[in-house]
Structure 1
Amino acid sequence: MERKVELLAPAGSIESFYAAVNSGADSVYLGGKNFNARYNSQNFNDEEMKHIIQYAHNKNVKVYVTLNIILKDSEIAKVLNYAVYLYENDVDAVIVQDLGLLYLINKHIPHLPVNISTQSVVYDEFGVKFFEKYNVDKVIMARELSLKQLKEIAKNTDASLEVFIHGALCACYSGQCYMSSFLGGRSGNRGKCAQPCRLNYSFYDKENKTIESDYEAIPVLSMKDFIGGETVVELIEAGITTFKIEGRMKGPEYTSSVVEYYRKIIDNCISGDKIKKDEVIELEKRAISTFSRGYTNGYLMPSIKDDMFARTSSGIKGDNIDIIVDEVKDKTKEFSFYRRRKIDFKINLKIGERAILTAYDDSNTVTVYSEDVCELSLKNPATDILIREQLGKLGNTIYNLGNIEIVKDDNVFIKKSTLNHMRRESTEELYSKKAVVYNRQLMGEISNEDIFDFNKNIRKKKPTISLKINSNEEFHIIDKIKMKRVYFPYDLDLDAIKKLDGIEKYLWIPNIVSKNQYNIFKEKINYYEEIFDGVCVNNIGSLYFFKEYSNLKIHCGSFFNIINSFSAQLIKEIGIESFSYSFEANIKDIGSIKNNIDIESEIVVYAYVQLMVMKNCPMSIVRNCKNSEDCNTCNYNTKYALKDRKGVYFNIERKNRLTNIYNSVPLTLIDKTYDFVRMGIKYFYVDTKWEDNIEDIIDALYCEINGIQTEKVLNENKFTRGHYLKNIL
Structure 2
Amino acid sequence: MKRIARDTIELLAPAGNWDCLRAAVANGADAVFFGVDKYNARVRAENFRVEELPDIMAYLHKYNVRGYVTFNILIFENELEEARQLVEACIDAGVDALIVQDAGLLQMIREISPDFPIHISTQMTVTSPEAVEFLQPYDVEVVVLGRENNLKQIKTIADHTETPLEVFVHGALCVSYSGQCLTSEMWGGRSANRGECAQACRLPYDLIVDGKKKEMANISYLLSPKDLAALDLVGELIEAGVSSFKIEGRLKSPEYVANVVSKYRKAIDEYLAGRDYIPSKEEIRELQQSFSRGFTHGFLKGTNNKQLLDGTFPKSRGVYLGTVLKVLKDGVLCQLEAPVKRGDGIVFDAGRPEEKEEGGRVYDLRKKGVKVEGEVQGGFIEIVPGRRDVDLTKVRVGDRIWKTSDPELERRLRLTFETEQAYRLFPIAVAVSGKMGEPLVSTWYDLATGHSVTVQSRDLLEAAVKRPLTLEYLTEQLGRLGGTIFELAEVRSELDGNVILPVKELNRMRRIAVDQLLALRQAPPRYQKHQVEVKAAKKERQDQRQAPAQLIALCRSMDQIHAACETDADYIYADFEFTTDYPYAVQVAREYGKPIALATPRIHMPGENGILKGILQSEPDAVLVRSLGALQYYTQQELPRLLVGDFSLNIANHKAVELFLARGLDRVTPSYDLNIQQMMDLLEVSPTEKVEIVIHQHLPMFHTEHCVFCTFLSEGTDFTNCGRPCESHRVSLQDRIGMLHPVRVDIGCRNTVYNAIEQSGAEYLSDFLKAGIRSFRVEFLEEDGEQVREVLRLYREVLQGQRSGTSVWKTLKATNQLGVTRGQLLKK
TM-score by length of 1: 0.87
Using the TM superposition, give the Cα deviation of residue 340 of structure 1 relative to its aligned residue in structure 2, in angstroms. 2.1
The answer on whether the counterparts of 1:632 and 1:655 sit within 8 Å (CA) in structure 2 is no
The answer on whether the counterparts of 2:586 and 2:596 sit within 8 Å (CA) in structure 1 is no
CA separation in 1, counterparts of 2:238 and 2:45? 31
- Equivalent in the alignment of 2:796: 702
2:164 to 157, 160, 163: 160
The answer on whether the counterparts of 1:335 and 1:398 sit within 8 Å (CA) in structure 2 is no
SS class of match (2:570): strand
CA separation in 2, counterparts of 1:533 and 1:207? 37
- Equivalent in the alignment of 2:641: 552
What is the Cα-based RMSD across aligned positions, in Å? 3.6
The answer on whether the counterparts of 2:158 and 2:241 sit within 8 Å (CA) in structure 1 is yes
CA separation in 1, counterparts of 2:770 and 2:225? 45
Using the TM superposition, give the Cα deviation of residue 606 of structure 1 relative to its aligned residue in structure 2, in angstroms. 0.8
Using the TM superposition, give the Cα deviation of residue 299 of structure 1 relative to its aligned residue in structure 2, in angstroms. 0.7
Q: Aligned ranges for residues 123-134 of structure 1 at < 5 Å?
A: 123-134=127-138
SS class of match (1:486): strand
Relative distance call for 1:674 and 1:144 in structure 2 (3 A) is same
Q: Which amino acid in the other structure matches residue 762 of structure 2?
A: I
CA separation in 2, counterparts of 1:225 and 1:545? 34
Verify: 1:667 aligned to 2:759, yes or no: yes
CA separation in 1, counterparts of 2:178 and 2:76? 19
Paired residues, what number? 709
Using the TM superposition, give the Cα deviation of residue 190 of structure 1 relative to its aligned residue in structure 2, in angstroms. 0.3
The answer on whether the counterparts of 1:348 and 1:357 sit within 8 Å (CA) in structure 2 is yes
Q: Which amino acid in the other structure matches residue 782 of structure 2?
A: W
CA separation in 2, counterparts of 1:410 and 1:545? 72
SS class of match (1:603): strand
> Which is worse superposed, 301-310 or 85-94?
301-310
Using the TM superposition, give the Cα deviation of residue 175 of structure 1 relative to its aligned residue in structure 2, in angstroms. 0.4
Relative distance call for 1:676 and 1:169 in structure 2 (3 A) is same
CA separation in 2, counterparts of 1:335 and 1:386? 31
Q: Which amino acid in the other structure matches residue 325 of structure 1?
A: E
CA separation in 2, counterparts of 1:635 and 1:306? 16
Q: Which amino acid in the other structure matches residue 795 of structure 2?
A: L
- Cα deviation, 1:525-557, whole Å, max 9, x if unaligned, reads 3442xxx22110111111111212333211001
The answer on whether the counterparts of 1:546 and 1:552 sit within 8 Å (CA) in structure 2 is no
- Cα deviation, 1:214-271, whole Å, max 9, x if unaligned, reads 257x322110011123322222222222221111111222222222222223223323
- Equivalent in the alignment of 2:259: 257
Verify: 1:654 aligned to 2:745, yes or no: yes
Using the TM superposition, give the Cα deviation of residue 672 of structure 1 relative to its aligned residue in structure 2, in angstroms. 3.4
Verify: 1:482 aligned to 2:565, yes or no: no
- Cα deviation, 1:432-483, whole Å, max 9, x if unaligned, reads 2023474435x37x45xx2235694544564221110111122332257732
CA separation in 2, counterparts of 1:206 and 1:498? 31
Relative distance call for 1:250 and 1:623 in structure 2 (3 A) is same
Q: Which amino acid in the other structure matches residue 756 of structure 2?
A: S
Using the TM superposition, give the Cα deviation of residue 663 of structure 1 relative to its aligned residue in structure 2, in angstroms. 0.6
Using the TM superposition, give the Cα deviation of residue 6 of structure 1 relative to its aligned residue in structure 2, in angstroms. 1.9
CA separation in 2, counterparts of 1:515 and 1:401? 49
CA separation in 1, counterparts of 2:175 and 2:648? 17
Structure 1 gaps of 5+ residues are: none
- Equivalent in the alignment of 1:679: 771
Relative distance call for 1:334 and 1:347 in structure 2 (3 A) is farther
CA separation in 1, counterparts of 2:238 and 2:258? 22
Verify: 1:398 aligned to 2:496, yes or no: no
Q: Which amino acid in the other structure matches residue 336 of structure 1?
A: Q
Verify: 1:42 aligned to 2:46, yes or no: yes
Verify: 1:471 aligned to 2:474, yes or no: no
SS class of match (1:76): helix
Verify: 1:212 aligned to 2:215, yes or no: yes
- Equivalent in the alignment of 1:626: 716
Relative distance call for 1:696 and 1:262 in structure 2 (3 A) is same
Using the TM superposition, give the Cα deviation of residue 360 of structure 1 relative to its aligned residue in structure 2, in angstroms. 4.2
1:508 to 596, 599, 604: 599
Using the TM superposition, give the Cα deviation of residue 605 of structure 1 relative to its aligned residue in structure 2, in angstroms. 1.0
The answer on whether the counterparts of 2:469 and 2:499 sit within 8 Å (CA) in structure 1 is no
The answer on whether the counterparts of 2:129 and 2:606 sit within 8 Å (CA) in structure 1 is no
SS class of match (1:78): helix
CA separation in 1, counterparts of 2:255 and 2:490? 34
Using the TM superposition, give the Cα deviation of residue 306 of structure 1 relative to its aligned residue in structure 2, in angstroms. 5.3
The answer on whether the counterparts of 1:127 and 1:540 sit within 8 Å (CA) in structure 2 is yes
The answer on whether the counterparts of 1:54 and 1:435 sit within 8 Å (CA) in structure 2 is yes
The answer on whether the counterparts of 1:464 and 1:702 sit within 8 Å (CA) in structure 2 is no
Relative distance call for 1:351 and 1:515 in structure 2 (3 A) is closer
SS class of match (2:556): coil
Relative distance call for 1:57 and 1:715 in structure 2 (3 A) is same
Relative distance call for 1:713 and 1:615 in structure 2 (3 A) is same
CA separation in 2, counterparts of 1:16 and 1:713? 54
- Cα deviation, 1:92-139, whole Å, max 9, x if unaligned, reads 221111010111122221111211111011111211111123221121
The answer on whether the counterparts of 1:84 and 1:109 sit within 8 Å (CA) in structure 2 is no
Using the TM superposition, give the Cα deviation of residue 410 of structure 1 relative to its aligned residue in structure 2, in angstroms. 9.9
Q: Aligned ranges for residues 414-453 of structure 1 at < 5 Å?
A: 425-436=512-523, 438-440=525-527, 443=529, 446=531, 450-452=533-535
- Cα deviation, 1:551-576, whole Å, max 9, x if unaligned, reads 32110011111111000000111231
Q: Which amino acid in the other structure matches residue 813 of structure 2?
A: N
SS class of match (1:171): coil
CA separation in 1, counterparts of 2:655 and 2:756? 32
CA separation in 2, counterparts of 1:324 and 1:722? 47
The answer on whether the counterparts of 1:166 and 1:244 sit within 8 Å (CA) in structure 2 is yes
Q: Aligned ranges for residues 7-18 of structure 1 at < 5 Å?
A: 7-18=11-22
- Equivalent in the alignment of 1:616: 706
- Equivalent in the alignment of 1:221: 223
> Which is worse superposed, 299-308 or 288-297?
299-308
Using the TM superposition, give the Cα deviation of residue 584 of structure 1 relative to its aligned residue in structure 2, in angstroms. 1.4
SS class of match (1:714): helix
Q: Aligned ranges for residues 89-128 of structure 1 at < 5 Å?
A: 89-128=93-132
Relative distance call for 1:303 and 1:554 in structure 2 (3 A) is closer
CA separation in 2, counterparts of 1:498 and 1:696? 19
- Equivalent in the alignment of 1:269: 271
SS class of match (1:671): helix
SS class of match (2:659): helix
Relative distance call for 1:393 and 1:289 in structure 2 (3 A) is farther
Verify: 1:288 aligned to 2:382, yes or no: no
> Which is worse superposed, 693-702 or 141-150?
693-702
CA separation in 2, counterparts of 1:432 and 1:667? 58
Q: Which amino acid in the other structure matches residue 568 of structure 2?
A: K
CA separation in 2, counterparts of 1:508 and 1:16? 44
CA separation in 1, counterparts of 2:776 and 2:451? 62
SS class of match (2:812): coil
CA separation in 1, counterparts of 2:705 and 2:567? 39
- Equivalent in the alignment of 1:233: 235
Q: Which amino acid in the other structure matches residue 301 of structure 1?
A: K
SS class of match (2:691): strand
The answer on whether the counterparts of 1:601 and 1:683 sit within 8 Å (CA) in structure 2 is yes
Relative distance call for 1:620 and 1:87 in structure 2 (3 A) is same
SS class of match (1:9): strand
Verify: 1:321 aligned to 2:406, yes or no: yes
1:80 to 79, 84, 100: 84
Using the TM superposition, give the Cα deviation of residue 22 of structure 1 relative to its aligned residue in structure 2, in angstroms. 2.2
The answer on whether the counterparts of 1:180 and 1:195 sit within 8 Å (CA) in structure 2 is yes
Percent of pairs identical after alignment?
Answer: 30
TM-score by length of 2: 0.78
The answer on whether the counterparts of 1:222 and 1:309 sit within 8 Å (CA) in structure 2 is yes
Q: Which amino acid in the other structure matches residue 427 of structure 1?
A: V
Using the TM superposition, give the Cα deviation of residue 90 of structure 1 relative to its aligned residue in structure 2, in angstroms. 2.3
